[in-house]
Amino acid sequence: MESDSAPTAAAVLDAEVVEPAEIVASPTAFEIGPDSAAEPLPNVEALWRSPTELVIAENVRKTFDLDAHPDVRDSIKEFGVSIPILAERQPDGSLHVTEGQLRALIAADVGTTKVPVWVTDADPSIPENERRISRTLMQMNVNDRRVPMVEADRADGIALMLDLGASVTRVAKGLQRKRSEVKHNAAIAASPTARGLVDSSSYSLDQLAVIAEYETLGDTDAVEYLVQVPRSSFSYRAKQIAADRRETRARLEASMLYAALGFGVLTAEPDTSSTESQILPAELLETVDSRPVTEVLIAAHAHRWLVYVDVQENGQLLDTLTGELVDPDHVDWGTQGNNESQPAEGLRHADSVEYRDRWIPLYFLAAEQLSESGLRMRTSAQSEGATGSGRDEAEQAATQRDEARRERRRVRELNKRGLAAKERRVEFLGRLLSRRTPPPQAGQFVAESLAWESDLLGSFHAPRTALNLLGVSGFTTELVASIQSATASRSWVIVLGMVLGAFESRAGKDSWRYNDRGLHRYLRFLATVGEQLEFELVDVEQAAAGLIDFHDIDIDADVNLDTAAPAAA
């Protein structure tokens, strides 16, 4: 027996030596199992050997392609072989690999100089057929009984390394993964909900990262909503929520000024459609001497008033650098999108300005404050003591106000959905156009589109949109270069991308309200090819495709996470 100071296998491997290790298992020191008869274990040596010195013995796994395992290849190239290869020493001294042939072959292929080998001596007393049976049983059990790491544990491991100070780049390189995957896994590990779903295969890594982000922010409403939507519509719904959150933050920011002035801030526009409403719009009020209620008068008694800030989309034209208001009549709109063009005399370049949303205050007075405010209902709006005709007129006015409020909300809501749908659609187009071959329906779609619109590809913004969808960051010369090196099938994909880019360039967030036959054909084509790619048209896209009437879209059908009863902040 070896002395107590003999190195163990682990010690030999850690020392990174290439000489044979000492025998680490005594032939009589251990038994096979607690219930077995005393039986010595075989002699074992832990060695470092060149993979080219190893002989690949008979192996049950014969069908494989080393190039089909890039992750394993990259790992061995970066870290070497971590799990020892099992081998039997033959009477002639050669080492025959019995388990770990892929590791040995890949290590040799990538130029690894030394690999750890766990060596036993072949027992010549065992018949050859029995040895082959035992080896085959061992190989099949080793391959079939591997327990893969669950994704939740993988996420925890990535988060642990980052917490210990490893950079995202180091972890990504070490695991042969993209930096974005490492970041997503770290976020998932910090989210109990996302971590609990990661092994269900119900959501992609990107989708789970979105859930994790909202849970980290404490947005439980968003989390509860997203875990209920199907995978195919997850991206659209997530973008809807993101748009709602952006609008809520912008409204809050715009409301802070009014709160500082003493106004009560409403979180939702109140319903004033009833003549018995307890919240009165400022436009229905007047002074005792029949003068209109002005903003100056309202501001002088801000503590009595409530304000709701409503958004007017693209309601103001601003200088992109200074943020100053610009008169649209002072802009040469013919220069838009062309940096080299010179504006007409006295006008400015269109690319120096941009439309932005404008926040407009709507003022309301609580009915209980009316008597103390020194105001009254406008004479034409009074119904108390009026004839039936007067009451009808007041009710009609209230109905019209409600219809106008609902229409504003419909347009705003459908435009938000349209923007979310466009963002998701662009993501889908990127996936579709990354393929090597076009979908079967592409030829007919392209032919029909060009037959109906011969100038389609030259439409405004069409070339730039196509380049973006095809992943070309430069100009047309880069696109031509990619065409020249592409296969015939890939070239047809590029042609499809140019046509899709032309249509997408004119598909805006408000396309749901227009009757564009080209967009009808475009969106219906996407619906057809999307059946196998987890893409389907949402309601605003169906309206833009002419499949439904936008008036029939129920803007309250979905869970609107920002809708609440009007409340003063």
According to the model, what pLDDT value does residue 57 have? 86
- Axis crossing angle, helix 488-505 with helix 442-452, rounded to the nearest 10: 50
- Axis crossing angle, helix 488-505 with helix 476-484, rounded to the nearest 10: 150
- Cβ contact 308:364 at 8 Å: yes
pLDDT per residue as tens digits for the range 208-240:
999 999 999 999 999 999 999 888 889 999 999
pLDDT per residue as tens digits for the range 352-406:
999 988 999 999 999 998 988 889 988 754 544 445 555 566 567 667 777 887 8
Percent of the chain residues topping a pLDDT of 90:
55
Can you tell me which residue has the tokens 């796994």? Answer: 61
According to the model, what pLDDT value does residue 276 have? 73
pLDDT per residue as tens digits for the range 137-185:
988 888 888 888 888 999 999 999 999 999 999 999 888 889 999 999 9
According to the model, what pLDDT value does residue 458 have? 86
What's the whole-number mean pLDDT along residues 334-357?
Answer: 87
DSSP 3-state assignment of 117?
A: strand
Percent of the chain residues topping a pLDDT of 70:
87
According to the model, what pLDDT value does residue 13 have? 35
What's the whole-number mean pLDDT along residues 327-354?
Answer: 88
Nearest of 14, 91, 92, 13 to residue 45 by alpha carbon: 13
Going by pLDDT thresholds of 50, 70 and 90, the confidence category of residue 336 is confident
Average the pLDDT over each of 15-24, 39-48, 322-331 and give the range with the smallest value.
15-24
DSSP 3-state assignment of 306?
A: strand
Nearest of 204, 212, 221, 244 to residue 417 by alpha carbon: 244
What's the whole-number mean pLDDT along residues 267-295?
Answer: 86
Structure tokens given for 140: 């099949």
d(CA 184, CA 210): 9
CA 300 vs CA 60, 263, 305, 530: distances in Å: 89, 11, 10, 58
d(CA 504, CA 353): 23
Quote the Cα angle for 59-61-66, to 5°. 110
- Cβ contact 228:270 at 8 Å: no
Strand-by-strand arrangement of the 44-49 sheet: 44-49, 115-121, 85-89, 95-99, 55-56
- Cβ contact 521:451 at 8 Å: no
- Cβ contact 544:497 at 8 Å: no
Residue 453 has pLDDT above 80, yes or no: yes
According to the model, what pLDDT value does residue 16 have? 39
Structure tokens given for 231: 């995978």
Report the mean per-residue pLDDT for the chain.
85
Rg of the chain over Cα atoms, rounded to whole angstroms, equals 36
Its pTM stands at: 0.69
DSSP 3-state assignment of 394?
A: helix
Burial label for 260, CB within 10 Å (0-12, 13-18, 19+), is exposed
Q: Which helix (H) or strand (E) holds 287?
A: strand 285-287
3-state helix, strand, coil in the chain (%, to 5): 50, 15, 35
Burial label for 552, CB within 10 Å (0-12, 13-18, 19+), is exposed
pLDDT per residue as tens digits for the range 297-326:
999 999 999 999 998 888 899 999 998 999
pLDDT per residue as tens digits for the range 144-155:
888 888 889 999
pLDDT per residue as tens digits for the range 13-29:
333 333 444 434 433 33
Residue 126 has pLDDT above 90, yes or no: no
